[in-house]
Structure 1
Amino acid sequence: MTVSASIAVGSHVWVEDSEEAWLDGEVVEVNGEEIKVVCTSGKTVVASVSNAYPKDPEAPPDGVDDMTKLAYLHEPGVLQNLRSRYDKNEIYTYTGNILIAVNPFQRLPHLYNNNMMEHYKGIALGELSPHPFAIADAAYRQMINEGISQSILVSGESGAGKTESTKMLMHYLAFMGGRAAGEGRSVEQQVLESTPVLEAFGNAKTLRNNNSSRFGKFVELQFNDRGKISGAAIRTYLLERSRVCQVSDPERNYHCFYMLCAAPAEDIEKYKVGNPRMFHYLNQSNCYELDGVDDSKEYLSTRRAMDVVGIIVAAILHLGNIEFAKVSDSDASQPKDDQSQFHLKTAAELLMCNERSLEDSLCKRVIVTRDETITKSLDPDAAAVSRDAFAKIVYSRLFDWLVC
């Protein structure tokens, strides 16, 4: 039966709306390929039959936990079901063995504690409310029972909550495959402890959320024949290097820069940093703080990593503050003023390289041919591009090293 044949006066339908996306209502008139619909919102709409979708008037007002139970699995029906559940603080919904998550944009710790993990342990998928722990448990049981490797794909648009969902899955698998207490620092602990470091150096505030991963990630957990974690590997790809040098308002650069600027006084002096508003790579946006986030505390939680790489993070900030001016009567460039010279000197000290060599690498380009080596001076604009390219390369190498 075609859609047009099934729509008659009295039918309940969904019709498109430019403001609300979809409106539901009852058909009161049919004129060939056009229908008149009185919507539940009070609005009367004339629409094409081809743009109308049937609505199930007997669908539960609170939605269903598995959308394969819906009478109509079309766009307005799916969206309405998700919205109905979201309004009741149910952020998870199944479609078969696929879990759909709607970002609540708030922390819900009661959903992810150890008691909740115990609750889902060994329970068949679908017997309890939809949850990432149920997906993780199903994959774990399948691996144990059939001896076959399992994959869980976390996908969605920017801001959908992929980072948090991945963390929940990893926590549950570490819970199931972890060692008993007192057996020493385990592989799963090392994997979980890597998460704050990866987020500090690979996540940033975007328009969609405050902790958006700006890189792709593949996490592999290896289990032994007793179902315990025996090894792990994390592979990253497509780091958004441009963010290091260019930030759009009201977004932020990577978290680690703001953490370093909020470090204790001795580290502020050590790295010659301070207010993030003084650094070019940070002050392109007016967003410096995040609601509910204390950068000084976040710094301390990742300080073990910062002891090693804080020097490089600070060096990148100082590199961004080096401005260039034209050398008189030539196309060459040099640090613009004493302030730029200070940041050049500081960056060189932090990177433990010769100040003059660093300046030459930014202000000159070396071209190696078959017969000779040519050194070409760069104008101020080209020198700034060279500076930013160097900063992005340094940060990318740092991130790769952290993952390894």
Structure 2
Amino acid sequence: MEQEEYTKEEIEWSYIDFIDNQDVLDLIEKKPGGVIALLDEACMFPRSTHATFAQKLYQTFKNHKRFSKPKLSRSDFTICHYAGDVTYQTELFLDKNKDYVVAEHQALLSASKCLFVSGLFLPLAEESSKTSKFSLIGSQFKQQLQALLETLSSTEPHYIRCVKPNNLLKPAIFENKSVLQQLRCGGVMEAIRISCAGYPTRKSFYEFVERFGILAPEVLDESSDEVTACKRLLVEAGLQGYQDLLVKISSGIVIY
């Protein structure tokens, strides 16, 4: 998003490489060859077991740089996530993926006169009820995630990133290594690196004029708007290294 803003504002800068997790996302959820798709496929065959499912994964992703097979296991697999390597045990994968509520049962329980029971089983949407017979847990999760992403795309979400200071759940204890690991796993350190490599210092036009107007007081006449005053201030002060893009910045900030 940082570099997208530079592009939108037509700011001259060198592209900054950053870690992209898209290949891991494709490995897990891309159709038709992702882990979830292969899991759903295995659940449709009565003779499938977690061992045959694991063998299918090993065969499909044997050359994938994010996928590996632990040496001392016959059915586990490891995915190299952004935050590090995670090993998954495939036992009960198929059983858990099949553990969903049948549409007819859902409708029956949602119509219960007991408010507690009906509250646990809310009526399914019409589209969901049509596909639920063939929709396993993995597919349902992907549908819910897609719906969430569509909702977020139509809004302006603001996130609060929480960091757990210690594993003892006690006050006044700050575990440096644990906090640093959380920041790295959450992408905060990477975002800071990109920001520092770009244009991290930003001020509104008003703040810029208020702070640096002393360098050229003659430009601060009442007839000039803040954008014009900023441009004249930079010219009159003879400053070098700034970009003449103040009139193009729709977000109302000076980047330097």
TM-score, shorter chain, exceeding 0.5? no
The higher-RCO structure (CA 8 Å, 6+ apart) is 2
- Return the structure number with greater strand share: 1
- Return the structure number with greater helix share: 2
TM-score (norm 2): 0.25
TM-score (norm 1): 0.18
